[in-house]
Amino acid sequence: MPLPPTCPTPDCDDRLWKDTAHTSTDWDNWRWWCCRCRKQWYPTAEQLQDFRHGTSRPATAQRDPRAGRR
């Protein structure tokens, strides 16, 4: 899953949280929340897709370099 975006407020660079606590009980009704600014934003259509079911972009395989080849 991708990292959440940073706050769009010009003087804040805090990461946003996916807030479901202060929205409706519908599972897909959420907003971005900044703990520093204490503001809420609607997610974009792409963000809804990425954070609803996981990313829509292909995952890159990350292999532990310490693991030996078989």
Structure tokens given for 52: 């609803």
Q: What is the pLDDT of residue 49?
A: 82
Q: Say which DSSP state 19 is in.
A: E
Q: What is the pLDDT of residue 36?
A: 92
Q: What is the pLDDT of residue 60?
A: 53
Q: What is the pLDDT of residue 58?
A: 55
Place of tokens 């792409």: 46
Reported as a single tens digit per residue, the pLDDT across 13-69 is: 899 988 877 666 666 678 899 999 988 888 888 888 888 765 445 555 555 566 655
Phi-psi region of 37 (alpha: psi -120 to 50; beta: other; left: phi over 0): alpha
The Cα 16–Cα 12 span in angstroms is: 11
Q: What is the pLDDT of residue 52?
A: 74
